[in-house]
Amino acid sequence: MGVSGPAAPPLSRADWAALVVEAAATTTSALERAADADWTRHAAGSDWSARAMLDHLALGVLGYAGLLTARPTDRYITLFGSLDPGAPIPHCLEGLRIAGSLLAATVRDTPPEARAWHPWGHADGPGFAAMAVVELLVHGWDLTQAFELDWQPPEHLAGPAVARLFPEAPTGHGNAETLLWCTGRTALPGHPRRPAEGWQWDGRVR
């Protein structure tokens, strides 16, 4: 486990659904402070523009809902979600919250035994919820860094995601800083920064 302290009780599907909704809400709330900024600038550490990263988030979070609905065993789904390219940033952030709510509802309704394909490990509802939390928090951090906003992923959201998807994460550090290390964003004491393209999570059900 990548989090320190006593073991927490297992989270229910409803708990995971709530984490997705909160991750979408807290990330978009932080980004609303940059609504009037230049979203053609690059997100931190990325070749994508900040606006393109919002599209990536919408595609990913909605796509996880689609995967849990269709439950393919060997491929991605053919449904692609995107944000209106002409919409103002506040409306785009609303779109991310909608995607989070749709995934949360799907996680709540997905049977515990259900599995769906993902290239980094076939997962259940909580697994896809954890993936969405990672996407929202980590790319939210990328964007707040680009706009020089003072924001860090909340500890109580980062912790469950690290524990679910990064079982080999180092212990003894804060949940947010561990998540950023796991995803190649920052270094940890005694642990150099991971290559930006060399990390991945383990979505398999354990």
> 51: how many CB neighbours lie within 10 A of its CB?
17
How high is the pLDDT of residue 198? 82
What is the spatial distance between Cα 160 and Cα 120, in angstroms, rounded to a whole number?
18
d(CA 28, CA 98): 11
State the architecture of 13-182 in CATH terms: Up-down Bundle (1.20)
Domain ranges in the chain are: 13-182
pLDDT, residue 2, reads 43
Give CA–CA dist 192/200, Å, rounded.
Answer: 16
Q: List the Cα angle 76/143/168 in 5-degree steps.
A: 60
Which residue in the block uniquely carries the two structure tokens 């599907």? 13
How far apart (Å, rounded) are the C-alpha atoms in residues 121 and 97?
25
Query: Taking the chain, what is the end-to-end CA distance rounded to the nearest angstrom?
Result: 12
Give the pLDDT confidence score for residue 196 in this predicted structure: 79
Residue 8 has what pLDDT?
Answer: 59
Check: pTM over 0.85? Answer yes or no: yes
Residue 34: its H or E element: none
Low pLDDT (below 70) residues in the chain:
1-8
Query: Which segments of 32-88 does DSSP mark as H helices, in order?
Result: 50-70
pLDDT, residue 49, reads 96
